[in-house]
Amino acid sequence: MTANIRPKRTWRRVDGVLLLDKPQGVTSNAALQSARRLYSAAKAGHTGTLDPMATGLLPVCFGEATKFSADLLEADKTYEADVLFGVTTNTGDADGEVLERRIPLFGRVELENVLQRFHGTIKQIPPMYSALKKDGQPLYRLARQGVEIEREAREVVIRELRLLEFSGDRCRLAVTCSKGTYIRTLAEDIGRSLACGAHLTALRRVAVGDLSIAQAVSLDCLGHLTDEDRNRRLLSPDSLLQTLPAVVLDLQDAQRFSHGNPVAVAVNVVGKCRVYADGRLLGLGHADDSGRLQPSRLVASN
């Protein structure tokens, strides 16, 4: 009897950005690999993990776009967060074990007043159930062993914290924050300020920088598209770089730049910028105040 042999997958070069709506209960890496297989993409990466419990915007980078994924890690993120007051858990979310129950004794006005305290630059102690590492070990592994270590408070910025819904012991918040912000910790700290405790029951990321969940597609929908329609869902690699100023070079300077050489530019740009020639992204550069543009990350030509 001849064994069934699965044909070997042929990976291909795919360059672009897919805005994926990650489902609940799936890790960011599993969602990334599913999308990668649908495109048969040779190279893929994402721009920052979402907890398995969380849903929402996960920008997936293919090919040359992976060179710029780190730039989006620096971008602000926007979430919608559901919080339950009066119950604390060991993980800060609904996946954890209940540690304590209290009766919430506050109203909307008290909650609004407490939320005001968390606007701007605040300090957070990262949770034990996180991917941060101590001596090479992720903290969540230590936490599962019952080990707790001291963590230093970090400064993060809460640019927006708005109450969307409130019903006694539950609320929904809109949060726009800097990188490194833990929404679970924010929910716990708000509950602590209200003297009743709290934990996160749901979390949805709705924006990363200028990228919006409104443009995203689910894995299920993606799997039912034709190859042609699937390719139409890809944004260009420079969609990750729209917050940076653009510099356009002539063909002679473009050739020098693409070979790793600095060029002189007349435009009034200082710092990191995206560089184009003849309508094509060449990569990232860094311009100093003398007009010297140095290549920092280049895109491979097709």
pLDDT tens per residue, range 33-42:
999 999 999 9
Name the nearest CA neighbour of 170 among 195, 200, 193.
Answer: 200
pLDDT tens-digit profile of 234-259?
A: 999 999 998 899 999 999 999 999 99
**pLDDT tens-digit readout, 62-89:** 999 999 988 788 889 999 999 999 999 9
Q: With b meaning 16 or more CB within 10 Å and e meaning fewer, what string describes 58-78?
A: bbbbbbbbbbbbebbeebbbb
Lowest-confidence region among 66-80, 113-127, 131-145, 161-175: 131-145
Catalytic residues, which ones? 51
pTM comes to: 0.88
Report the range of poorest mean pLDDT among 56-60, 149-153, 247-251: 149-153
**Whether pLDDT at 3 is above 60:** no
Q: Greater confidence, 152 or 115?
A: 115
Query: Bigger pLDDT: 203 or 95?
Result: 203
* One-character DSSP codes across the chain: -PPP-PPPP--B---EEEEEEEPTT--HHHHHHHHHHHHTBSSEEESS---TT-EEEEEEEEGGGGGGHHHHHTS-EEEEEEEEESEEESSSBTTS-EEEE------HHHHHHHHHTTSEEEEEPPPSSSS-EETTEEHHHHHHTT-------EEEEEEEEEEEEE-SSEEEEEEEE-TT--HHHHHHHHHHHTTS-EEEEEEEEEEETTEEGGG-EEHHHHHTS-HHHHHHTPBPGGGGGTTS-EEE--HHHHHHHHTT--EE--S---EEEEEEETTEEEEEEEE-TTSEEEEEEEPPP-
Domains, the chain, in order of start with CATH, read 16-75+211-239 (3.30.2350.10), 78-203 (3.30.2350.10), 244-298 (2.30.130.10)
